[in-house]
Amino acid sequence: MTRIWTWMIARAEYERGSATVEYFLVILAATALAIIALKWVQSGSGGGLLGNLFGKVISWVAGAF
């Protein structure tokens, strides 16, 4: 039992900080996607599509209440 406990403690020490790195990478990827989407909308390609999407969502929400 002591051997298992020692292995678990050693493993936990080895992985210390992994969650922080994973959260950072997720935030970095989300930021990159947001920047790409913003550039796409600003270029004019997605402006009409995005406007139509928001219009449909707003009318759906207004119709639901």
Each residue's pLDDT tens digit, 19-47: 788 889 999 999 999 998 888 777 776 66
Q: Given phi > 0 = left and psi -120 to 50 = alpha, else beta, which region is 16?
A: beta
- Is 9 part of a structural domain of the chain? no
Full domain range(s) for residue 48: 20-64
Total tally of structural domains belonging to the chain: 1
Predicted structure pTM score: 0.49
- Is 56 part of a structural domain of the chain? yes
- Is 34 part of a structural domain of the chain? yes
- Is 60 part of a structural domain of the chain? yes
Residue recorded with tokens 């707003």: 58
Query: What pLDDT was estimated at residue 13?
Result: 64
- Is 10 part of a structural domain of the chain? no
Q: What percent of the chain has pLDDT over 70?
A: 74
Amino acid 62 reads A
Residue recorded with tokens 């969502």: 57
- Is 47 part of a structural domain of the chain? yes
